[in-house]
Every structure is written in structure tokens, then in C-alpha cells.
Structure 1
Amino acid sequence: MSIALQVTDLSKTFPVGKKLFGGARGSVKAVHPMTLSVETGETLGIVGESGCGKSTLARMLVGLLPPTTGTIEIEGAALDTADPAAFGKRIQYVFQDPISSLNPRKTIRQIMEAPLRLLHGMDRAAREERIREIFDSVNLRADFLDRYPHEFSGGQAQRIGIARALAAQARILILDEPVSALDVSVQAQVLNLLADLKREFGLTYLFISHDLAVVEAVSDRIAVLYFGSVVEEGRAEEIFAHPRHPYTKLLADSAPVVGRPLRDPETGQAELPNPLDPPPGCAFAKRCPYATEKCRATAPVLEQIGPDQRVACFHPLPAR
């Protein structure tokens, strides 16, 4: 199968504070250099705690943030990361908060027409035909087009957000917590819709979420992020059935499961390290029961540990 998206050594560093005579006081590495690939038609789930770099990665992939280092390739063609417009036709973003992501001063028709006019130069008749086709695909009525965003429920607004992403005719969608702001019953409807659209249009998804049950259900592969780095990657069924990194096991064990007693909360060093003063070795060492002096002194790199599983750990958990 062909590669839809390839990122190589992609990283993001933010300057922090200002000195009296100019320049930054320091910097924060939000995303450490990472290399990932997503096959055409695949769903890659990206999971991790708040602050691990998930949304920063997503914003770099769609051109909202310029990367500090690295390259982004879509279907083998490198994108000009200095030109955000280069991303629009190739990759699109579905935001977490559906209503606030829509311009409250514009009608849905105006919102939908923007990518068709600016990216594809369609005339009015072609735009109208394309919008009606997309609205039919996401199960929305045509009379919604002349309303404003505040007139819709969260589920309807998220369908509009998905339709806007599809309007640009991109084949890769970044789904950043697309159902976390919705009621549980509506979440299921939106997830089923995304599955149908993926089959209908041959889409490729990057699905970012903190809800492990949702990610496991929709993803083909999963990348686990911690403190800006990928610590484990592999097939979804293997990642949660047989986690090899202690952090992945912590995430899996923390997810509530019917019939299983809740775990006691972590104590002590349960927070992410200070980004202004990162530890010299493995960022997870202070929380890891298997950490050794080697872990605290040297950062592990992502290495192949199975047929389709990679882990960044000096003491990976045994395969079950």
C-alpha cells in the first residue's frame, strides 16, 4: 500500500520570555524530532496526556504552525512548510470545538464556499453542486446553508466542520478530538459517519484523542506520545493488548473498563517534566517503576521490537 503522509525529523521549538535587550530567555521543545508514516486509507490514532504535543503536531501537519525542523510529504511530494496555502488541497483539519471553529458572522454557505473558491477557483454553479453533494454525504439538509453557526447543535456543527474539510477535496483529514465535545450518543453518530466517509471517499485519517476506547475502536495503528516524543507505535490491537512501554501500559490501565476496579491514582512524580528544564534521560523515568540509572542519564530512541511495533525504552515490558 502507498504512503499517504510521511513526516521525517519533524519538530517544534517555541521561544519563551524575552531578555532586556532582545532575544528569548529560553525555549520549549513541544515536539521532539519524530518520524511517522501513514498509509493510504489508514487511520493512525495519536494518544497521550495533555501537554504531550498532540495538537502541536496536528497544527504543523496542516500548516497552521511552521515546523522548526523536518519535512512533510504527502503522496511522495514534499510540502513547502513556509507556505501554508500549499497544504489546503492536500490535508485538512477537523477541530475539537465544532461551533467555535465556524465563523459566527458568516452563513454556512459562505463558510463552505471559501475553500471551493480560494483553493479550486470554482464558479458559482460548480460550488453549489459540490456543496449539495457534500451535504448529502454528511446527512445535512440543504436549507441549513443559509443559517448561522449558533443555530446548530454540537453534532450538527461537527458535521458541518467535516463537510468544510471535505469541500477542499483533501484526502487526508486531521481529526483533533473530533467527538470529545459531544454527547455520548452523538459521538457514536459522528464516528459512524467518519467511517462511512472514509470508505466513500478513500480518506486517510490522523485521529487525535485522549479517549483510549474511541482511539482503539477507530484506529488501524496507534502512536503514543509522551513529552513531545513518540514512545510506542504499532497495530492498535497489539498496542493495548500487549503494551511494551510502561507509559502505554499506564494509559491502558487507567482507562475505565466495566467490571474492572478503578486503579489508585498515581502519587509522587505523576506530572509531566518541566518543559523549561527537561530531564537528561528518559522523560518518563521519574514515573516508571522499571527505571534505572541508564534511563535517567540517556534518552532511549524508537526501535523495532516486533513485526509491527516500535518502542523507545531500555526495559520494554515482555510480550504476553
Structure 2
Amino acid sequence: MIALRATDLSKTFTPPKPLFGAAPPGVRAVRPMTLEVAQGETLGIVGESGCGKSTLARMLVGLLPPSTGEIEIAGEKLGVAGPAVFGKRIQYVFQDPISSLNPRKTIRDILETPLKRLYGMGREERRKRIAEILASVNLRESFLDRYPHEFSGGQAQRIGIARALAASPRIIVLDEPVSALDVSVQAQVLNLLADLKTEFGLTYLFISHDLAVVEAVSDRVVVLYFGAVVEIGPAERIFSAPKHPYTRLLADSAPVVGRTLTAPEQKGTELPDPLNPPPGCAFAGRCPRATDLCRSEDPALTDHGDHQLAACHHPLED
């Protein structure tokens, strides 16, 4: 069963037109892409800074309107179903656990908001539901009358997860959920997320730049570059036998204990100019396998077997 489907989804940020002169070009943060996520799946989304990961996530939960395309959750389209209905189906866990919580609100106020707005629960019903949620994320009820600044990063992230669970969603988008935490706390939060997925039958979209974490928690992985999907497939295949040179570059760039840190690229390591995108494959300027075909024609996603697709004219061999 398909939990989430995004069809031809894209986002272009258009700057305001100046009083004089021509309007500046828009920035295509996400180029048209189509994704499907199965019920109960964890889909990892990776790519370097500026590739469009967070913009995609914000469109999927309705925080940003897409420029083109459609988003469906359980057969209902965003915009047609309305934000309240979508809020019951999909929720967001932010990267920075402290700043994502309202500093003027107590934890009780933060957790009660979705229960009031989405479900109209009364006081006693809210109290019972909050007690259940806190037990699920291993937090004490004595925390409810405290404020976000009184908690550690790991505790604050558990509160953020509890806030998402309060809406009883089927899908949770996790945007770098452990990147701001200490390594030992990261493991605790990841184990918690795994337990919650089993307990509540959740579907995850897990965004991260930490490839080891993504490989460990994901069933499939989407690799983004310059706002487009360049490879998608099972997690074990993506990292052990990548088809796109950019995926190989990401894997080689990840620090590994015992391996000397060396620069994987010598020049041309920056993303292309978003105001003046190059023709053809956006990765051609950094790719050692690039040819004239790559610089003139944008490759389409092609099936390479084992449910692995890559957008490359000259894919890597196993």
C-alpha cells in the first residue's frame, strides 16, 4: 500500500520584481520529481547542503506550497483535503530540537495544541492522551509544566517527537533529527524512533547527511543533487554498489575509522549556480566520467535492476 505519493513535485523561489529593470530569475530548489513511499517503509533522503532535501520535506508536510505537482497521502490530495486533515496524516520533526519548540509555552501547552486544534479534545481526554504519549517517548509527566530551555537536546528532541505523535499521524518526516545531538544521545533517539515505528505502524521519511545513520535505518534511499533525484534504490545497494558517480562521491566522502581523510575532489567541488543552471547533467562539471552527451542532455532515471534507478548516461558497474 502506498502511504505517500508525490507526482511531478517542484519548487521555484521567485524573488520580488524590482521597481526598475527586468525581474531576476527564479531559483529552482526542487526540480520535478516523482516519489512513492510504501506504508511502514523508512525512506532515507541524502545529499549535500543545498540539494533541496529540506525544501522537499517542507512541501510534503504542507509548510511550503509546491510550484508544480501533487501530493497524495492515503489517496487524499494536499489542498483538497485541507491542512487539518493532512495534519492528522503527516507530521514533521525538526532538526534543531530547542528552537523548534515555542520558548513561551510549557511542554503541556505544546503537546495540547494539536489535540485541541485537530481533534477538539476536552481537558480530561487531553490529559490521558498526553500521559500515553510521554510514556511512549520515555519522558516523565513532571516535565509538563517546564519550558523548552530547561531541557537537554536529547530531551527536547523527544518532546518534538511527542508533539508529532500527538496528532496520531501515519507518516513522520524526520529532518536531520539527530544531527544536533551527542553521539550517545543519537543512538538513544534512533532506538526510540525504531520502537515507535513498530508500536504505531509509522512510515518515516528520514533526511540526513550522515550516510551511516541513513544506511542503518532506511529500507530505501533517495539521493538528491541540485534539486533532482539522481539515484534511488534499496539502502544496501545504494551504498555497496552505487550506479551514479555522485552517490559514490558521497560514500567516499564519509569519514571511516582507520581511513586517512583525503579530499575526494581537487577542483570544481561546488554546486552549480542555481541562477544559471548548466545544460545537461548538473553533476557533469564534477564527474570524471562526463562526456559531451552529459553536458548537453539531462539523463532520465533508468532502471538498473534490483529496484535501483539512476539518472546517469554512464552508470557505474558493480
**TM-score range, shorter-chain basis?**
over 0.9
Match of residue 29 from structure 1 = 28
Work out whether residues 63 and 83 of structure 1, in 8 Å CA contact, stay in contact via their aligned partners in 2: no
| 1:89 corresponding residue in structure 2 | 88
91-100 vs 22-31, which moves further: 22-31
Question: For 1:26, what is the secondary structure of its paired residue?
Answer: coil
CA distance in 2, matches of 1:312, 1:263: 27
In the aligned structure 2, how far is the partner of 1:242 from the partner of 1:57?
26
Give the conservation status (yes or no) of the 8 Å contact 2:252–2:264: no
Partner of 1:54: 53
1:80 positional shift? 1.2
More off after superposition, 234-243 vs 265-274: 265-274
Tell me the residue number matched to 1:176: 175
Residue equivalent to 1:291: 290
Aligned residue in 2 for 1:229? 228
The one-letter amino acid of 1:152's match is: F
Counterparts of 1:97 and 1:118, CA distance in 2: 24
Quote the offset at 1:309 in angstroms. Answer: 0.4
Contact kept in structure 1, 2:114 and 2:167, CA below 8 Å: yes
CA contact 1:216–1:236 (8 Å) conserved in 2: yes
Deviations 1:178-232 (A, max 9, x none): 0000000000000000000000000000000000011011100000000000000
- Could you tell me whether the CA contact under 8 Å between 1:223 and 1:234 is conserved in 2? yes
Q: Distance in 1 between matches of 2:88 and 2:22?
A: 36
Partner SS for 2:178: coil
**Superimposed CA distance per residue, residues 128-172 of structure 1 (whole angstroms, 9 cap, x where no aligned partner):** 100000000000000100100010000000000000000000110
* 5+ long unaligned stretches in structure 2: none
Shift of 1:301: 1.1
TM-superposed deviation, 1:26:
1.2
C-alpha distance after superposition, 1:54-81 (max 9, x if no partner): 0000000111000000111111222217
Q: What is the distance in 1 between the residues matched to 2:104 and 2:23?
A: 37
SS of aligned partner of 1:87:
helix
Counterpart mapping for 1:191-230 below 5 A: 191-230=190-229
Letter of the aligned partner of 1:272 in structure 2? L
State the 4+ residue runs in structure 1 displaced beyond 3 angstroms. 21-24, 81-86
> Counterpart of 1:101?
100
In the superposition, the TM-score normalised over structure 2's length comes to 0.97
Q: 1:24-68: CA deviations, max 9, x gaps?
A: 421010000000111111100000000000000000011100000
**Identity among equivalent pairs (%):** 74
| CA positional deviation for 1:22 | 8.7
8 Å CA contact retained: 1:253, 1:263: no
Distance 1:266 1:17, change over 3 A: farther
Preserved contact between residue 249 and residue 264 of structure 2 (Cα < 8 Å): no
Q: Secondary structure at the match of 1:306?
A: coil
Counterpart of 1:159?
158
Q: Kindly tell me: are residues 82 and 293 of structure 1, through their superposed partners in 2, closer, same or farther at Cα, counting changes over 3 Å?
A: farther
Question: 2:246 — aligned with what?
Answer: 247
Q: Is the 8 A contact 2:9 2:34 kept in 1?
A: yes
* Separation of aligned partners in 1, 2:120 and 2:107: 19
CA contact (8 A) 1:95 1:161 kept: yes
Quote the Cα distance in structure 2 between the aligned partners of 1:226 and 1:89: 31
Q: CA deviation at 1:257?
A: 1.3
- Across the aligned residues of Structure 1 and Structure 2, the Cα RMSD in angstroms comes to 1.4
Q: Contact between 2:40 and 2:204, CA under 8 Å: does it hold in 1?
A: yes
Q: CA deviation at 1:87?
A: 2.2
- The reply on whether 1:278 has 2:259 as its aligned counterpart is no
DSSP-derived class of the 2:216 partner: helix
CA displacement at 1:259 relative to structure 2: 2.3
Separation in 1 of the partners of 2:154 and 2:22?
A: 45
Q: Which residue type is aligned with residue 230 of structure 2?
A: V
SS, match of residue 195 in structure 1: helix
Alpha-carbon distance in structure 2 between the residues aligned to 1:144 and 1:301: 51
- Equivalent pair of 1:227/1:273 in contact (CA under 8 Å): yes
Determine helix, strand or coil for the equivalent of 1:217.
Answer: helix
* Counterpart secondary structure, 1:132: helix
Shift of 1:83: 4.5
